[in-house]
């Protein structure tokens, strides 16, 4: 029996009528669970996490082409999608009852620390920006924010593969995003192309759009978009994840964190105190021969489908 992870077009159509007069937070609350994916905690998909208001590291934003552009348009703001879909962390997966399955092993998570956009989830593959008609903003404003977030994501992916000495295809570093004004939804793809001078061009292209309204035999746009979203999800938890894990094997483990002098001094003082107290312990005392336990954590192909297939399915 297939899990109910496909977005519900009928519920979207019914609820979108109610959200047209709502503000942005109210619209998100009403539509997000049906437009995006259900996770394992809701009897949905394993390996993924859907989180609101995720902050990405600013250092992954592209640099401005020149000073004139920066003065004219200003610097890019903090990348923060309204919703981000990526791989669930070990910590979040193990905090569930019963435990869920994480996409990466603990040692793999340690290796990707410096490449992380955020500590809340790993390698996001779908983001969403919401607007409401009541606020006077629409897809144009949402697409600008989506372009900012998508550029940060594809740049971090490109850096990850380059550091792992892997040559990624455009699909390997591609990202998908949604924009919606609670009346319609648009699906975008983002990718990066490197230039001969070492720079990069960031691209964003619309690949699907649909109204959130009751379905008719002539209007199947929302059904087609949901099929594409499902295709993106299946690719993310199969070929994309395999490519990422294969690249992680080439990354070194991070060096151990140095101990702070104060902490080392504190440990030394505690050790001296223990030695003095142990010296006064009689030899026959049961604690003098107590065993010591050393607990250790367990140590722990692929081809990318073309974008054309994503559009056809």
Is residue 293 domain-resident? Answer: no
What is the tens place of the pLDDT at every residue in 33-76?
A: 788 888 887 777 889 999 999 999 988 888 776 777 777 777 77
User: Does 129 score more than 90 pLDDT?
Assistant: yes
Q: Which residue has the higher pLDDT, 14 or 239?
A: 239
Is residue 152 domain-resident? Answer: yes
Closest CA to 87 of 37, 31, 159: 37
User: Does 19 score more than 90 pLDDT?
Assistant: no
Compute the mean pLDDT over every residue in the chain, rounded to the nearest whole number. Answer: 78
Write the CA distances from 52 to 2, 55, 136, 164, 281, integer angstroms: 26, 9, 22, 30, 57
Residues 6+ apart with CB under 8 A from 134: 20, 21, 22, 23
What is the structure's pLDDT at 33? 78
- Range(s) of the domain holding residue 117: 9-253+305-312
Is residue 259 domain-resident? Answer: no
Q: How many domains does the chain have?
A: 1
Is residue 23 domain-resident? Answer: yes
What is the tens place of the pLDDT at every residue in 236-279?
A: 999 999 999 999 999 987 777 666 566 556 555 555 545 444 44
User: Does 197 score more than 80 pLDDT?
Assistant: no
Is residue 3 domain-resident? Answer: no
Is residue 22 domain-resident? Answer: yes
Inter-residue contact 115 to 154 (CB < 8 Å): no
What is the structure's pLDDT at 267? 56
Is residue 40 domain-resident? Answer: yes
Inter-residue contact 152 to 117 (CB < 8 Å): yes
CA distance 94 to 101: 8
- Give the length of the chain: 313
Mean pLDDT of 125-148: 89
Is residue 137 domain-resident? Answer: yes
């Amino acid at each position: 029996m297939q899990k109910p992870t496909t977005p519900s077009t009928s519920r979207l159509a019914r609820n979108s009528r109610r959200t047209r007069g709502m503000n942005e937070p109210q619209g998100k609350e009403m539509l997000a669970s049906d437009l995006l994916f259900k996770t394992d905690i809701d009897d949905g998909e394993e390996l993924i996490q859907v989180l609101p208001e995720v902050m990405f590291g600013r250092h992954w934003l592209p640099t401005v082409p020149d000073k004139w552009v920066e003065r004219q348009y200003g610097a890019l703001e903090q990348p923060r999608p309204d919703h981000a879909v990526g791989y669930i962390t070990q910590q979040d997966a193990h905090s569930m009852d019963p435990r869920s399955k994480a996409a990466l092993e603990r040692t793999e998570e340690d290796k990707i620390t410096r490449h992380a956009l955020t500590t809340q989830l790993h390698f996001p593959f779908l983001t969403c920006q919401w607007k409401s008609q009541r606020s006077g903003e629409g897809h144009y404003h949402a697409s600008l924010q989506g372009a900012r977030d998508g550029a940060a994501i594809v740049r971090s992916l490109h850096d990850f593969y380059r550091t792992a000495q892997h040559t990624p295809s455009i699909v390997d570093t591609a990202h998908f995003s949604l924009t919606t004004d609670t009346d319609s939804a648009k699906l975008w793809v983002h990718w990066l192309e490197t230039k001969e001078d070492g720079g990069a061009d960031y691209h964003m292209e619309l690949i699907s759009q649909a109204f959130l309204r009751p379905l008719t035999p002539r209007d199947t746009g929302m059904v087609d978009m949901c099929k594409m979203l499902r295709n993106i999800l299946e690719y993310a938890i199969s070929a994309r994840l395999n490519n990422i894990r294969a690249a992680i094997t080439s990354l070194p483990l991070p060096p151990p964190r140095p101990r702070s002098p104060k902490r080392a001094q504190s440990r030394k003082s505690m050790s001296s105190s223990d030695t003095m107290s142990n010296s006064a312990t009689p030899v026959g005392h049961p604690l003098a021969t107590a065993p010591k336990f050393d607990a250790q954590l367990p140590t722990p192909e692929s081809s990318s489908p073309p974008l054309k297939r994503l559009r056809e399915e």
